[in-house]
Each structure stands twice: as C-alpha cells, then as structure tokens.
Amino acid sequence: MWEYTDKVKDHFLNPRNVGEIKDADGIGEVGSLACGDALKLTFKLDENKRIKDAQFQTFGCASAIASSSALTEMLKGLTLEEAEKISNENIAEYLGGLPKEKMHCSVLGRDALEKAIGSYRGESEKKIEGEIVCECFGVTDLEIKRVVAENGLINVEDVTDYVKAGGGCGKCHERIQEIINQINGIQIQPKKKEKALTNIQKIKLIQETLSREIQPALAKDGGDIELIDVDGNKVIVKLRGTCATCSKSELTLKNYVETKLRELVADSIEVEEVQ
Amino acid sequence: MNVVYADNNATTQVAKKVLDEMLPYLETYYGNPSSMHTFGGQVAKNIAMAREQTAALLNASPEEILFTSCGTESDSTAIQAAIKSNPDRKHIVTTRVEHPAIKNICEHSAKNEFHVTYVPVDENGTLDLDYLYKNLTDDTAIASIMWANNETGVIFPVEEIAAKVKEKGIVFHTDAVQAVGKIPIDLKNTEIDMLSLSGHKIHAPKGIGALYVKKGTKFSPFLIGGHQEKGRRGGTENVASIIGLGTASELSKNLMEEENTRVKEMRDSLEKGLLERIDNAIVNGGKEKRLPNTTSIAFEYVEGEAILLMMDEFGICASSGSACTSGSLEPSHVLRAMGVPFTAAHGTIRFSLSTYNTMEEVNFIIEKLPPIIEKLRKMSPFWKKNQ
Ligand SMILES: Cc1ncc(COP(=O)(O)O)c(C=O)c1O
C-alpha cells in the first residue's frame, strides 16, 4: 500500500481541470500506454500572457493523476517565465510529498509542461538527444544526468524512482551507476562478470532464445532466422525479411538479434550474417 | 465502512472454527511437543492429528506431510532438496508464469551454475507441453510446474505432466498453493513427488505451510536443526498454526463442493456483470480450465492502481496486475508471458472470491465498478482516440 498524503488523495479523487482545451496555446504530450503513464497538458494564455487556463488528461496511477491535477492548479495565473521554473520537486511539495517510488509522476508533469511551453514558442519537437541508456523505457543519458543533478540522486534505485530508467530488464544498471558516479565525480573501475556457461549450455541457450524469443518476433513481420553455426562467441545466422513494423525499427535485424542474444545468453555474443 | 473482500488469492479470513481450535494451544497447552513430560508430549498427538487432516485433504499419507512456515518455504525446500539429491544435474525446468516463490529461487539458482528453462504459455495462459517435454534432459534435476496460477486462476494439467516427467526419472514438484482447497487433489493416484501448500490461502493463519513429499523421494532438509519433522525440518513446531492448518484442511475438504458451485456461480456472475456493463474489458486467460473463484479482467486504457484506490473508497478489496501497485515499473510477468498488450495489462484487476462472499457483495461490485472505470477513462488521453 502506498502512503499517499491527503492532498494526493484529494487531487486523485477530485481531480481539477480534467480535459483538453480546444484552441490551446500550448500542448505537451508525454509518456505512453506501454510505459504505464501518460499525460497530455494544454494551456491557454490571457491578453497579458499569463496562463488563464490549464487542463490535463492522464492515464496512470493515483499519483500520476494527482500530480497532473496539482500542476494545472499551480500553473494558473503564471507567466511562462514563471511557469518554466516549476520543477518536479515543486509539484511533489505542492502535494505534501510523494512516495519515493512515485517521484517519476512529478517528473512526468514537469516534462509535459516543458513540452507545452516549447510548443507555444514554436520550438519544433526536440529529437531524442543523447544516447538511449534504458531500452525498456527509452530513457537517455541526458535525462538521467538531469535528474541526478537536480535531485541529488546517488544510486540506481533513485534514478528508477525518478525517471524509470533501470526499472525493466535491469541490463542498464551498470551504465546508470557510471553516469551517477560521473555526475557526482566518483571514479570506479567498471567490473564485468560473465555468466559461466559451458559450450553445450551456451549453444542450447542460443537455440532456445532463437526459437522462443526471436523467431516469433520476426515471424510477425514475415521474417525468419536460421542458425548456421556457433563459433566461440560468434553466432552465425541466416536472416530473411525486414523488421519494418517491429517496435525497434531503428535497429537492423542483425542488431536486434544480437541485442536479444546478449540480453538472454551472454554479453559477449557477436552475430554474423551469412547470405 | 463495510469491507467487501474479493482478494482471497492474496490471503483469506481465518475461519472461526480454526481460531477456536488454535486458541487452547496458545493459552493452555503451551508445552513443547518434544518434551518428555505429559504436559508437553501430549501436544504431539494433536500435531499428528493435524497431519492426518492435512494429508486427507490431498489424499496423501500423514508421513508424507512436512509442516513448514509458509508456501514460500515449501517451494524453496522442494527445489533445494531436488538439487542437493541430484548433485550431477544442473538443469531446472519451470514455467514463465510461476509465483515469485518459485521464479526467484530459479533465477537465484541460475546465478549459481544452474541452467533454467522457462516453459512459455500462449495467450490463454495454456502451457506449451511440447516445449516442456522437449526440454527434459538427463541433466534435469527437477521440473517445478504450478498447479493453478495465482493471477489468472488458469489450471495446468500437472497430473499428466508429472507422469511424463517421471518417465524420464526426473523429480516433479508443483506449487499448489492456489489449487489446494479449490479443486480436488488426489495425490495417491499421481506421480507428483512434491507439492507445496500454504495455510493462509485456505482460512488458516499466515505463516504456516506444508510440503508433501512422496514416500521414497530423495530429500534433503532446508532448515537444519533438531529432529522435528523426522529431521526433515528443524525448529520447534508452530503448534497452534499447525492445529489451525489441520482444522482448515478439514473444513476445506467439506467446502470443496460449495467452492465449485456457489463460489463459481458468484465468480461467473461477477465476470458477466462487469463485462456487460463495461466496454473494452477482457478476461485474461482461458475460462475453461480455471479456478472456480478467480477472474482477472483487463480494463483497457486505464491504470490498475487508480482503479484499486477508487474501489477502496467503497471498501472493495481486489488486486491488480499493474506495475504501479507492486512498486515495480512493468506489469505482471504473468500477463506479459501471455502476451497481454500493454493497453490491457496495466488495467488488469484480479477478483478472487471465497465461500465467505455473498451475492450481495458481488452485486455491490457490479454496481460500483462501471462508474469508476468511466471516470478514469474520461481522464485518459487514450480513451477517445481508440473509440
Ligand atoms: C502460487 C503461490 N505460490 C506461493 C505463494 C507463497 O505463499 P506464502 O505467502 O505462504 O509464502 C503464494 C502466495 O501468494 C502463491 O499464490
């Protein structure tokens, strides 16, 4: 059970400003169904360029709804310069605090606000900048650096609470810790430990991963994969089809197979394609 | 506020009769069953009685029942016993939808030179039996397949699986924590080597469980200590709870019929009532082979924690497969293994009934939930887009 403050409960059960402003001056949409929370924020300015109205639509848990509702209340009457200064901490404070694991809900609010202001100023949607660190939730190193610096975070768990990075498969924990150390100026030699698999176990696991995880995914797009040979850490495969409709379309087929095998078999796997 | 408790797969109310039988062992008969004096020693007789009652629920012999502290201990004991008794075998077969009590000990073993095969399920939650059988090898120490799934209620054909697994000389264990008391179990007529159960799912208190170990199965204790439980589990017995588990087992046996008639009817009414009144609601898991008390329903485009908290305002207790409730960020591994889309997984609510529920309570849920879903959908940015 989460310990929500009365203010969170109030904003959840009686959310203020639900809806979408039709002729909005600024619109900010963040999150997705897959991530488990999403927020669409719209605002309208008055003749003095102060926020006259702000409305939200949120898909998410109680604290996501409460954070959105709180944000719209906080925004009313502010100039954009003032609104810009609202941080995720401010949203959490307005609600009398959020459970640590739910801080990402306040970050969602801040992100939507930033986007909405950007849209008003005619800034085109920023392309994803930086390098994706957490594949599960699509979080970049820049986003992680920002929450670490702004909120004084010191461990991976904190980062997960604030921006979700690391909350999925867990493969990126080491990288996140590196970023934290970098921001906090700590130098640590990275250590890597490989699962000890015998050759037979490895080959079996590769076969299994191909037939259980990869083949079905490729089959959805009319593709297929055939295992030709395994030579040390080199996995030689024959590939057919495209990955046009798959969610990871920015990756090539070969990259996709390699990522999956590294995730499920061993980090050192390399995929080689034969025609 | 009245509580409408529809979360019986999480835990159950202690039956009045169970509590009544237990109290004397907390107040009057507090002796140690291992003592030489009559005052303590007499308690051993009552433990023997509870062992018989528990065995009777499963149609097993009393010597085959080992009392443990919970379902989780039973699961850990079983896996660990099979591994230790077959030191040359380094492979474990289990499913992708196990409770954390099995899932996490398998993952833990995988870190220690064990290789684990997770048998997949299809969108109905049905186990891929061919895949399971194909992966049984000379290296396999144990196959552990749950009897019934705690989230969806889907039942696996473990008796049939046990027979195939035994043909290959492999130890077979089943986590039957959710199946016991809800569907008939007849262990004398199966090849199952080990079976886990937990008291608090069948109206006994929390913190008591049992492990069935078939006669002749190689065993190695998990808790090493005194000679209690014939040296198979050290530690002075949790006497009152053991008595409670025995009583609860007897009650369960007598209530099995009601569980599969009246409780099932209530579950079906609840499911039907909600699906009729709420659009874009989908039952997770095949309906045929399913526990009589459980329904897992996905309400698309809304988030589970929000639903639970709004139901909480009316005293309705259920649980959710959503990420937010568990403190993790991804929806339940069971729903993901079934390929339930994110639109549905995040908004999944599990209702699990017991003989203590009434039709009035079911109707109360059917009345209260539709406006909740509607309210949340009106707030959701995805709702209209997808209509
Ligand atoms: C299928 C299953 N296995 C194991 C357990 C764990 O039982 P216990 O809580 O007694 O440790 C549970 C309870 O949640 C369960 O549902």
Side-chain half-sphere exposure of B68, counting CA atoms within 13 A: 27
Listed as own residue / partner, the contacts of B195-198 with beta carbons closer than 8 Å and 24 or more positions apart are B195/B58, B195/B147, B196/B71, B196/B74, B196/B75, B196/B78, B196/B101, B197/B58, B197/B71, B197/B74, B198/B70, B198/B71, B198/B72, B198/B74
Q: Where in chain B is the domain with CATH 3.90.1150.10?
A: 4-11+256-385
Distance CA B380, CA B306 (A): 11
Chain B residues with a Cβ under 8 Å from any Cβ in chain A: 111, 113, 115, 117, 120, 131, 135, 301-306, 309-310, 313, 322-325, 327-331, 342-343, 346, 378-382
Name the residue facing B327 among A20, A101, A208 (closest C-beta): A101
Query: Does residue B317 contact residue B334 with C-beta atoms inside 8 Å?
Result: no
DSSP states of chain A as a string?
A: -----HHHHHHHHS-SSBS--TT-SEEEEEEETTTTEEEEEEEEE-TTSBEEEEEEEEES-HHHHHHHHHHHHHHTT-BHHHHHT--HHHHHHHTT---GGGHHHHHHHHHHHHHHHHHHTT---PPPPS-EEETTTTEEHHHHHHHHHHHT--SHHHHHHHH-TTSSS-TTHHHHHHHHHHHTT-------------HHHHHHHHHHHIIIIIHHHHHTTT-EEEEEEEETTEEEEEEES--TTSTTTTS-HHHHHHHHHHHHT-TT-EEEEE-
pLDDT at A251: 53
Hey, is the C-beta of A61 within 8 angstroms of any chain B C-beta? Answer: yes
Compute the average pLDDT of residues A157-170. Answer: 86
Choosing among 3.10.20.30, 2.60.40.10, 1.10.10.1100, 1.20.1250.20, the CATH entry for A132-184 is 1.10.10.1100
Contact B306 A37 (CB under 8 A): no
Choosing among 3.10.450.350, 3.40.50.1970, 3.90.230.10, 3.90.1150.10, the CATH entry for B4-11+256-385 is 3.90.1150.10
Distance CA A230, CA A204 (A): 10
pLDDT tens per residue, range B202-230? 999 999 999 999 999 999 999 999 999 99
Q: Is the pLDDT assigned to residue A41 strictly greater than 50?
A: yes
- Test mutation, A59, A136, A220, chain B, max B CBs within 10 A: A59
Side-chain half-sphere exposure of B113, counting CA atoms within 13 A: 7
Query: Does residue B379 contact residue A65 with C-beta atoms inside 8 Å?
Result: yes
Q: Which residues of B are catalytic?
A: 324
- Low pLDDT (below 50) residues in chain B: none
Name the residue facing A36 among B329, B378, B382 (closest C-beta): B329
Contact A33 B306 (CB under 8 A): no
Class (C level, CATH) for B16-251 = alpha beta
Quote the minimal CA–CA distance from A271 to chain B in Å: 22
Q: Side by side, which strands form the sheet with A37-45?
A: A26-32, A37-45, A51-59
Q: Which residues of A are catalytic?
A: 35, 105
Mutate to test the pocket of ligand 1, among B77, B198, B352 (most ligand atoms within 8 A of CB): B198
pLDDT at B270: 98
The residue whose C-alpha atom lies closest to atom 16 belonging to ligand 1 is B150
Structure tokens at A15: 């959310």
Is residue B154 lining ligand 1, measured as CB closer than 6 Å? no
Q: Is the pLDDT assigned to residue A68 strictly greater than 70?
A: yes
| B376 → chain A, closest CA residue | A59
Q: Is the pLDDT assigned to residue A249 strictly greater than 70?
A: no
CATH superfamily entry for domain A199-273:
Fe-S cluster assembly (FSCA) (3.30.300.130)
Contact B303 A37 (CB under 8 A): yes
Mean pLDDT of chain A: 85
pLDDT tens per residue, range A126-163? 666 788 888 878 888 988 998 898 888 888 988 988 88
Mean pLDDT is lowest, of A87-91, A267-271, B196-200, for: A267-271
pLDDT band at residue A261 under the 50/70/90 scheme: confident
Chain A / chain B CB contacts < 8 angstroms: 81
Quote the minimal CA–CA distance from B205 to chain A in Å: 21
Distance CA B48, CA B35 (A): 15
Question: What's the Cα-to-Cα distance from B91 to each of A34, A201, B118, B195, rounded to whole Å?
Answer: 34, 10, 11, 19
| Domains of chain A by residue range | 6-120, 132-184, 199-273
Class (C level, CATH) for A6-120 = alpha beta
How high is the ipTM of this complex?
0.88
Residue A133: Cβ within 10 Å count: 24
